[in-house]
Amino acid sequence: MLEIRNLHATVDGKPILKGVDLTLDAGEVHAIMGPNGSGKSTLAYVLTGRDGYEVSEGEVLFRGRDLLAMTPEERAAEGVFLAFQYPVEIPGVPNTTFLREALNAVRRHRSLPALDPMEFMKLARTKLKALHMNDQLLKRPVNVGFSGGEKKRNEILQMALLEPALAILDETDSGLDIDALKVVAEGVNALRAPERATLVITHYQRLLDYIVPDRVHVLAHGRIVRSGGKELAQELERTGYAAFTGEAA
Amino acid sequence: MAASFETARQVREATEQTYKYGFVTDIESETAPKGLNEDIVRFISQKKGEPEWLLEWRLKAYRRWLSMPEPRWTKLRFPQIDYQDAYYYSAPKQAARPKSLDEVDPELLRTYEKLGIPLREQEVLAGVAVDAVFDSVSVATTFKGKLEEQGIVFCSISEAIQTHPDLVRKYLGSVVPPGDNKHACLNSAVFTDGSFVYIPKGVRCPMELSTYFRINAANTGQFERTLIIADEGSYVSYLEGCTAPMRDEHQLHAAVVELIALDDAEIKYSTVQNWYPGDAEGRGGIYNFVTKRGACRGRNSKISWTQVETGSAITWKYPSCILQGDNSVGEFYSVAITNNYQQADTGTKMIHIGRNTRSRIISKGISAGRAQQTYRGLVRISPKATGARNHTQCDSLLIGDSCGAHTVPYIESRNRSAIVEHEATTSKISDDQLFYCRQRGISEEDAVALVVNGFCREVLQQLPMEFAVEAQKLVGISLEGSVG
């Protein structure tokens, strides 16, 4: 599904990623953990093509194709989804309008007919129900006045609608209380599927109690310094990142 | 709302040029000699078979115009206009004034069809009556008969001068006197056509009334005059739309609109202005110098202006309300979009005279490219306007680094009991918003249209439903090429 080879990237001319290698197969959930400033969010933005994140070396193949050559919207249409750490507010645009625009853009790319408002509402309601979420979320302007939990739930709702092949969750647990965390994790688990790969980026182990990963990687100083099974997360919880930051330096 | 983006995309794909109304109709015209003098004023008046009083009114305005200075207090920059280098009358040639649509030149009907304004009654938008003005004259008015059944008069102003001279004489120039400003004065001297509406006492007009203005001839100014009178307890919703061919030289459009609302009457006036804005380098485009004013003469009357201004090289326009009647209400909702080298200096005036008068101003300005835009608004509370209230909300959105937005509020309060509020914001479309949309699969241009439509939503919601969708499309199209 996703093959990252020797990826180097800079932000404002400053090297952040210094040779990341990672392979993620369909049906798998991998977690990337690491201290603040290790390059976790940079990796998410490089994979989704954000301006200002320059790749200086290496390549990324997504389902065998050169991901880095695509525009952000092409990557999205091809099935790459990023759940944002800080979802963005768009005043005056109802959430339904935004979601339908996004879904229809992706459907057009896949040569599927666009959904009209009625068809869309029906689909959105089904997804909301499956995620135990409230209709009200659809009517309000995109993320405007949403609580931290609502914003993250809205990200999961979008993911459920867009049905990506690769989902990247960037610090989805930040700013959530334990109840909200459970709801979000439940949503992510409901979307686990043999054809889908998920990359969970997190600072803390606690999210991984609810979304149990197949593999855990530790990112420090722009490199993956260690990989292991889910027990690696628990080890980190006990020992902290100090050992790795030292190791990488 | 989403459907409109869908359509906007299709429109974009279907047309190579951004301005899709830029075609010219090949039609034989009758034109007055170039330039402006008393003989031209007489020529226009004679062409229209006007009564003596109106010719005198025009000549008086013309003489006054000669010595009036041009308003130069705006932020607009443009060269001196050569008034002698333009034609002041151009009309499609036809044997006599057509009595029905069957007699209208098919080429004209095709022009309006191309503009999306079919005039044959079986094809028109349900519930919308249209007066079509082509260059200097009105070529057709739909649904006239049906409206007459309720005593509603909806016709060209030239026709009203013949059929309802008393109403015209009583109200013409009563809200915007000829000497108001140089552009209005010129209009008073040479106005050629426009719409006239009279809604009788207690009648609620059963359909939207609309006028569609089209400039076709080259080097011709358009000077239309619209007069709407809502008698006691009546209601009307009126909409105007405008387009012009793409030409390299600037063309002058100086219109005057007067609204009169008597006791308990309400007028809702909406504009979707899409005159040719000039090309990306700032060549050509319409100079849009318009005076629009409404008088709430009666108690509990209400006048509401909604405008979506996307076209013209220069827009100079301040739709205003004179709130004379006690408890009368004035509203101004505006979206103005300027891209490339367009300039706009627009806003409103709310003049509170009666007691407990209320006004509300919501202005949304969007600037892109090298465009400059100014909101200029006056709120005046006179000594007798006890209990007057105003709320002004003025938001500017900038796209890119080379454009400008300016806000110039004038507040004059001479009554201690009045409450006047002014809020203003300036923001930019953020990279965060664009990336968020693009990460969800929405292209950059559609993302801009989405964010801008959200920004304007409060105003677009005020438009009659039939036109709100059109306006949303226009917002997207006007901003093409503004990012990336």
B457 touches chain A (CB under 8 A): yes
Q: What is the mean pLDDT of chain A?
A: 91
Inter-chain residue contact B439 with A48, CB threshold 8 Å? yes
Query: Tell me, what's the pLDDT at B381?
Result: 97
**What does the buried/exposed string (b/e) look like for A82-99 if buried means 16 or more CB atoms within 10 Å of the residue's CB?**
bbbbebbbbbbbbbbbbb
**DSSP 8-state class, residue A239:** H
Q: What are phi and psi of A82, to 5 degrees?
A: -115, 120
Burial class (CB in 10 A: 0-12, 13-18, 19+), B391: middle
If you write DSSP's letter for every residue of B23-49 in order, what string do you get? ------EEEPPSS-SHHHHHHHHHHTT
Contacts of B430 in chain A (CB under 8 A): 88
Contacts of A48 in chain B (CB under 8 A): 439
Cβ contacts of A46 within 8 Å, gap of 6 or more: A7, A9, A17, A53, A55, A60
Rounded CA-CA distance A116/A108 in Å is 13
Give the β-pairing of B29-31 and A14-24.
unpaired
Rounded CA-CA distance B54/B45 in Å is 8
Give B326's pLDDT tier (boundaries 50, 70, 90).
very high
- The answer to whether the beta carbons of residues B29 and B220 sit under 8 Å apart is no
pLDDT digits (tens, 9 = 90+) for B414-427: 999 999 999 999 98
**DSSP 8-state class, residue B79:** P
Best to test chain A binding among B7, B428, B439, B456 (most A CBs inside 10 Å): B439
Rounded CA-CA distance B61/B417 in Å is 40
Rounded CA-CA distance A103/A109 in Å is 10
Inter-chain residue contact A72 with B431, CB threshold 8 Å? no
- For B125-185, strand residue ranges (E) read 128-134, 137-141, 153-156
Q: State which amino acid sits at residue A157.
A: L
User: Residue A17 forms beta bridges with which residues?
Assistant: A9
A140 touches chain B (CB under 8 A): no
pLDDT digits (tens, 9 = 90+) for B71-107: 888 888 888 888 888 888 877 666 455 566 666 677 7
Closest to B131 in 3D by CA, of B213, B73, B251: B213
ipTM surpasses cut 0.85: yes
Best to test chain A binding among B4, B335, B438, B462 (most A CBs inside 10 Å): B438
Closest to A80 in 3D by CA, of A113, A106, A100: A106
Rounded CA-CA distance B139/B142 in Å is 10
Best to test chain A binding among B393, B397, B436 (most A CBs inside 10 Å): B436
Inter-chain residue contact A76 with B441, CB threshold 8 Å? yes
Rounded CA-CA distance B379/B371 in Å is 26
Contacts of B441 in chain A (CB under 8 A): 73, 76-77, 102-103, 105-106, 109, 162
Least confident of A19-33, A231-245, B190-204, B377-391: A231-245
Inter-chain residue contact B455 with A92, CB threshold 8 Å? yes
Rounded CA-CA distance B332/B303 in Å is 9
Dig out the tokens for B239 from the structure: 């909409």
Question: Which one is predicted more confidently, B133 or B451?
Answer: B451
pLDDT surpasses 50 at B110 = yes
Inter-chain residue contact A90 with B433, CB threshold 8 Å? yes
Q: How far is B47 from chain A (nearest CA, A)?
A: 50
B430 touches chain A (CB under 8 A): yes
At residue A187, the 3 state secondary structure works out as helix
Closest to B159 in 3D by CA, of B174, B144, B177: B144
Give B16's pLDDT tier (boundaries 50, 70, 90).
very low
CA separation, residue B164 to residues B113, B136, B152, B159, B234 (Å): 31, 20, 12, 8, 19
Q: What is the mean pLDDT of residues B126-138?
A: 65
pLDDT digits (tens, 9 = 90+) for B434-481: 999 999 999 998 999 899 999 999 898 888 876 777 777 777 777 776
Percent of chain B predicted with pLDDT > 90: 47
